[in-house]
Amino acid sequence: MQVIEGATTNSKANLSPVSDIIHALQNILARSQSVTVCRFRYMIGCRFIDDEQIPDLETPYCRLPNTDQTAIPKGQRLISTIITERQQQLDAVLHEISGLETVMDGIKNLHQQLVEKKDRITQSMNLHKGLGSALWRLPNELLSHIFVYCLPEAKYLSPESEPPMLLTRICRRWREVALGIPSLWCRLCMEFVNNSDWQWAAVRYNSWLKRSRGCPLSLELHCDADDLTKLRSLLRPYINQISSLSIKISVPGTQPELLLKDLPALQELTIWWNHDDPPIAQSISRLPSTLRSLLVGESWFDVGDISSSNPVWAHLINVQIDIIRPNAFLHLLQLCPNLSSLAVSTDFPQIQTQPLEPFTHTKLRFLGIDSVFLGAHSLPVLFDALSLPNLRVFETCEVIPWPHEAVKALLVRSKCPLESLIFSGRRIATITDEQRAEYTALFPSLEIVSTVYQT
């Protein structure tokens, strides 16, 4: 033990290399193992160990079969003297154990330092190996284009480990390049659903949005919090950048205009709103004239709702909406002269029998109709009033029964260049071979598709 302590002290004093310390310890352990000879003897249940480093603890009393004091040979040392001697030996051993543990702790610390040194050397070696690769020699401009192609195809990105966040964790150069590309940070999904740490989430989203540096933003907002004031405050510095916005609100009484007002660059809006209070039409009427695409889900529109949003419809090119009356359908088309694509869910509570005023829409290329409940029964009256001379794709979802004669009359009257007729849904309308032949006769290159959705 004295040798080990001396070696440790000299190492600190002389600042010897780690290899010298390791060599000295190896020598000490080798000498210790070479001089140790253990011998075990068993006599009357007692175990004896003779060792040059371990003292001989054998006494005449170990051979006695009992502790009868009359049997103790005369002239032997008193038992108390032996106990005192053993206590001294025990104290010496405990002292040596304590010293050895101190040395072992020092060795553990030295080992940890060496492991950390090894990791730093490995990191440096890998870095310099990378310097010789072709990827490292790519100019920043080319690396930027590669990063853009690394982005997922999803319309909105989550600030997790997927690109672009993953690109910032490879190396310092990649992080600098990624943070210098605003287009990497223009799509973001922001979730505030029962968020217990709103402040932390706001800091994370704000950091992402800052990197967009004024580029147009596409945002998706999941808002189950009934107070949107903080979210509006978070988005305020980026209001002029928001060009695409998707909102899902599921809390009754929430004021959607908090998120929909003052969006001067908005071109695309998707909003899921399943509450009647307040009416969503009031908020839509305040949207800017820059809006070109509008999708409203889980909220039914009548003629009055559509009329109240009149200023918005004139500029729209794409609309997806739920309508509860055939005349509201026609009224929407009348207010959307530039409409190219229209997808409508119809739920007509009463079967329409009275004819509607004829109307021709010259720019509509795609028409999708999803029939709900009694919606299909009033479609013939609606189709009889329509003319769509530019229609290319006609898709129907669960339109049962299929109004073949009304649809054929619409297509003949419109003289449109129809390319696809699509039947979709969990249940799809069936057409006979004769009806199929009639459609093919009108449009020889027509593609008729049937797609059944799995429940």
**Residue percentage of the chain with pLDDT more than 90:** 35
Q: Nearest CA to 424 among 370, 383, 345? A: 370
Copy the structure tokens of residue 135.
């990827």
CA 79 and chain centroid, separation: 76
pLDDT at residue number 354? 80
CB 339, CB 364: distance < 8 Å: yes
pLDDT at residue number 45? 36
Q: Which residues of 136-172 are buried (b: 16+ CB within 10 A; e: fewer)?
A: eeeeeeebbeebeeebeeeeebebeeebbbebbeeee
- Is the predicted pLDDT of residue 54 greater than 80, yes or no? no
The count of C-alpha atoms lying within 13 angstroms of the C-alpha of 286, restricted to the half-sphere facing its C-beta, is 12
Single pTM value for the model: 0.68
- Is the predicted pLDDT of residue 63 greater than 70, yes or no? no
> Lowest-confidence range among 17-21, 43-47, 276-280, 314-318?
43-47
Kindly report, residue by residue over 198-238, the tens digit of the pLDDT: 888 889 999 999 999 999 999 999 876 566 788 888 999 99
Query: Tokens 């107070």 sit at which residue?
Result: 227
pLDDT at residue number 129? 74
Longest CA–CA separation in the chain, Å: 136
CATH top-level class of 292-455: alpha beta
E strands within 336-385? 341-346, 359-360, 366-371
Copy the structure tokens of residue 395.
């898709």
Kindly report, residue by residue over 151-203, the tens digit of the pLDDT: 988 889 988 767 899 889 888 888 999 999 999 999 999 987 666 678 888 89
Average pLDDT over residues 28-51: 48
CA 388 and chain centroid, separation: 43
Q: Which band of pLDDT confidence, cut at 50, 70 and 90, is reported for residue 48?
A: very low
Phi, psi values for residue 47, rounded to 5°: -115, 130
Q: Which band of pLDDT confidence, cut at 50, 70 and 90, is reported for residue 132?
A: low
Copy the structure tokens of residue 256.
């959607």
Kindly report, residue by residue over 321-348, the tens digit of the pLDDT: 988 888 889 999 999 999 999 999 887 7
Question: How far, in Å, CA of 297 to CA of 322, rounded?
Answer: 7
Helix (H) or strand (E) holding 198: helix 198-210
Question: How far, in Å, CA of 346 to CA of 287, rounded?
Answer: 24
Check residues 364 and 68 and name the one with the higher pLDDT: 364
**Where do the domains of the chain lie?**
2-131, 292-455
CB 218, CB 155: distance < 8 Å: yes
